[in-house]
Amino acid sequence: MRTTLDPFQAIADPSRREILMLLTKEKQTINALAGNFDMSRPAVSKHVKVLYDAGLIVINNHGRERYCELSPDGFNSVKEWLNYFDKFWHSKLQNLENLLNQHAKTN
Amino acid sequence: MHRDLVIKWHFPHPAEKVWECLTTPELISQWLMKNDFKPVVGHKFNFFTKPIPKMGFDGIVYCEVMEIIPGKKLVYTWKGGAAPDNLSLDTILTWTLTPREDGTELLLEHKGFKGFKNYITSIFMNSGWRKHIPRRMAEVLNEMK
């Protein structure tokens, strides 16, 4: 997954927040999204690209249409860290136990 | 989604031995990571390890000692990220030792995992989000100031 943009920046814009909110209801094509805004389709498309670059949405092609969807992966960074640290700390605490065992033997 | 990590570990060793391993830089480096820790509240120090580029981590953990109760409790911040000015991981580590008859119980709490992405998730995934979105978005924006 590519995340090239800070999600903070991505949602700093009201139109992009609106797009995210629309996508919480269901996946939508860029055309359908554009129907909710006064701005041009290319302008909406630009916002969609920003959300995509921030890893907040995915875009899937179905035939000619491009569907935008909220990206579960984009929201998973915390889970990844928790999984990582769960393994990390268990392995480090095992090290600590080994170290204590060694010291107890030598004393 | 759980945002905290809590691990209990039992050591068949006295608490003062475990405490020594938690607070002596040379010993810490033997089981955890290289570091320049000092058991002094307010001391800023680092851990050094392998970078994890996939997770935007440059291999340096930035810490500051928050609290020490000798032999019992040690708290420090645990921050990391892609660069010193881009610390996406902003967490707190608490070590609590409790003497037991047959050794020591260690409680390790690693707390405060949150990211902006996670914040958005909680906005969208929590029940009743429709009602709360405007308020929570406002909170997010206030945090951004």
Contact B9 A7 (CB under 8 A): no
**Residue A64 carries which DSSP code?**
T
Cα–Cα distances in Å, from B50 out to A1, B31, B35, B126, B140?
22, 15, 13, 36, 33
**How does pLDDT run across A51-100, given as a tens digit for each residue?**
998 888 889 998 888 999 887 665 566 677 788 899 999 999 999 999 99
pLDDT over 70, % of chain B:
76
pLDDT over 90, % of chain B:
57
**How does pLDDT run across A34-63, given as a tens digit for each residue?**
999 999 999 999 999 999 988 888 899 988
**How does pLDDT run across B6-38, given as a tens digit for each residue?**
999 999 999 999 999 999 999 999 999 999 999
Banded pLDDT at A14 (limits 50, 70, 90): confident
Residue of higher predicted confidence among B115 and B108: B108
What confidence score (pLDDT) does residue B144 get?
47
How big is the A-B interface in CB pairs under 8 Å?
90
Query: Worst-scoring range by mean pLDDT, A98-107, B70-79, B107-116?
Result: B107-116
Closest-CA distance of chain A to residue B13, Å = 7
Contact A21 B133 (CB under 8 A): yes
Cα–Cα distances in Å, from B87 out to B56, B61, B62, B82, B116?
9, 9, 9, 7, 12
Distance CA A103, CA B60 (A): 28
Q: Has residue A1 got a pLDDT over 90? A: no
A11, amino acid identity? I
Residues in chain B within 8 Å Cβ distance of A78: 1, 3, 113-115, 117-118, 121
**Quick check: pTM over 0.95?**
no
Quote the distance between the C-alpha of residue A17 and its chain's center: 14
* Structure tokens given for A7: 């999600």
Contact B55 A74 (CB under 8 A): no
Banded pLDDT at B99 (limits 50, 70, 90): very high
ipTM score of complex: 0.75
What confidence score (pLDDT) does residue B128 get?
46
Q: Which of B4, B31, B87 to mutate against chain A (most A CBs within 10 Å)?
A: B31
What confidence score (pLDDT) does residue B130 get?
47
Contact B5 A86 (CB under 8 A): yes
Residues in chain B within 8 Å Cβ distance of A70: 124
Banded pLDDT at B107 (limits 50, 70, 90): very high
Cβ neighbours around A15 below 10 Å, total:
17
Q: DSSP letters along B19-32, please?
A: HHHHH-HHHHHHHS
Banded pLDDT at B60 (limits 50, 70, 90): very high
What confidence score (pLDDT) does residue B119 get?
53
* Structure tokens given for B78: 């645990």
What confidence score (pLDDT) does residue B84 get?
77
A78-106 burial code (b ≥16 CB/10 A, e <16): bbebbeebeeebeebbeebbebbeeeeee
Helix (H, G, I), strand (E, B) or coil at A20: helix
Of A89, A72, A61, which is closest to residue A23 (Cα–Cα)?
A: A72
Distance CA B53, CA B59 (A): 9
Residues in chain A within 8 Å Cβ distance of B106: 93
Q: Has residue B139 got a pLDDT over 80? A: no
Query: Worst-scoring range by mean pLDDT, A5-19, B51-65, B126-140?
Result: B126-140
Residues in chain B within 8 Å Cβ distance of A83: none
Distance CA B15, CA B25 (A): 17
Distance CA B87, CA B8 (A): 28
Cα–Cα distances in Å, from B82 out to A42, B11, B54, B88, B143?
33, 35, 10, 8, 21
Q: What is the dihedral of CA B114, B116, B122, B123, to 10 degrees?
A: 150
Of B68, B69, B51, which is closest to residue B60 (Cα–Cα)?
A: B51
Banded pLDDT at B142 (limits 50, 70, 90): low
B10, amino acid identity? H
